[in-house]
Amino acid sequence: MYFHSLQFIAFLTVVFALYWAVHQHKWPRLGVLMVASVIFYSMWTPLPLLLFAACTAVNHLCIKGMGRWESPGVRKGLMVVAVVVTLGVLCVFKYADMFRETLVTLLSPLGVKVRTEPYGLLLPVGLSFFTFQSISLVVDVYRRETRSTYTYFEHLLYLLFFPHLVAGPIVRASHLIERFDEVPSLSAEEGGRGMYRIAVGMVKKLVVADVLGSGLVDPVFAAPEAYTSAECFMAAVAYTLELYFDFSAYSDIAIGTAALFGFKFAENFNRPYLATNLFDFWNRWHVSLSTWLRDYLYRPLGGNRVSRPRALFNLMVVMVLGGLWHGADWRFAVWGAVHGVVLVGVRIFWWVAGKPKDAGWVRAAWGLALTFLVVVLTRIVFRSPSMTHAGEMYLRLFEGSLGLANVSTLVWVMLGVAVVSHALPLKLFHQVGELFVKMPMPVRAAVLVLVGLGVRHLSSVETRPYVYFQF
């Protein structure tokens, strides 16, 4: 069940009605959310839910142990057990075949026998997001930043809550599980803002992202040799925009949906393509992942509180592992490593020349252009099915052939819409939202349904899954 489908709108309407009918009572309202989350996930396949439940049980026992024992050694040991088990599940189901293929490549020439047949394990949808959110709760309890008294049911619902499970954002305990005891409330204005975010997300996905993907990105990346260098570059730009509008659309709908149940999720994007350096970009892009890597990996490694060489090493480790989190293929590690090298270069430059406090519009413009170019060129590796294919794309890109005959008028229009809407001030976005909020409730509901119907008709493309579903 996709967020941008009429099926989801009908599902959300029923769950919304049931939830608010019993919202005064904790366990009935949490029960509605749990049943809804199980049904939502089961629309793909229900089997991974057993894996999620078992992994959560291990983590929950470790959390209860940390709440019972005060010994630092015992608490740390329980935290390590929970993290190792959770990461072990991720490695087995997501990376087993990648590790197997790597060993075959490295050891077969030496005469060492390695299993050549794929394990063929089912990769649960949303496993990476489930893993990181599980670890965040365990570590937060260990750090005493959240309590350990939650029930197993609350713990499991925190992880399975349907707006964020499949593709994020990664939600901290303070935004969800710590709110379970509170009797929720929803004003007409809050409900209107939630519906507005859902409508915006549907427009982003169905009108902008899907048109760019089907109209230019997919055909060019499938056969770059059939297109000019200029068309290959435009396809790389289009994919960069498609990925943002696709993923931020999911985040918008997740944030809006959570708001309809009285929960406030943190923003996951802040106009990332207006960043003037790569550090700024990662502070704006997929914020829930960037802050997770900062709080649960970079800082525990020592962050920038250690020697400068060690700080650069920590930065590279975070970027390579962050890249590999995106998929079971070494090209994602390469993509992360390239970003890491550029970040290291920027940090060294700042150490030598000093970090500019006020760059001025000329330097800011150059920084924005160079940062966007780095993001666009590295996204070729991210989008290509293999490094070999990415190499072919780069070769074609740098041949220098001109011509944009294969870029349709509709794609040009969507590129313009994407660029302009991304550059518009956030104040305007919020002002439009307030206009939506002032509409009567029946009108808002009608607008939401019409958006779901209208943008699907206007886009004239096949409904496509969200890009981040594969992660």
Residues that are catalytic = 326
What single-letter DSSP state applies at residue 298? I
Phi, psi for 398 (deg, rounded to 5): -95, 10
DSSP string computed for 98-137: HHHHHHHHHHGGGT-----S-------TTHHHHHHHHHHH
DSSP string computed for 204-257: IIIIIIHHHIIIIIHHHHH-GGGS-HHHHHHHHHHHHHHHHHHHHHHHHHHHHH
Alpha carbons 134 and 131: distance in angstroms, whole number:
5
Q: Both ends of the chain: CA-CA distance in Å?
A: 17
Alpha carbons 166 and 466: distance in angstroms, whole number:
10
In Å, how far from its chain's centre is CA 449?
Answer: 26
Alpha carbons 116 and 112: distance in angstroms, whole number:
12
Q: For residue 139, how many C-alpha atoms fall within 13 Å in the half-sphere facing its CB? A: 17
Helix, strand, coil proportions of the chain in percent (round to 5)? 75, 0, 25
Alpha carbons 376 and 379: distance in angstroms, whole number:
5
Block residue for tokens 């991304």? 422
Whether the CB-CB separation of 390 and 381 falls below 8 Å is answered with yes
Whether the CB-CB separation of 280 and 255 falls below 8 Å is answered with no
Whether the CB-CB separation of 51 and 89 falls below 8 Å is answered with yes
Q: How many residues does the chain have?
A: 471
Alpha carbons 232 and 230: distance in angstroms, whole number:
5
Alpha carbons 298 and 169: distance in angstroms, whole number:
19
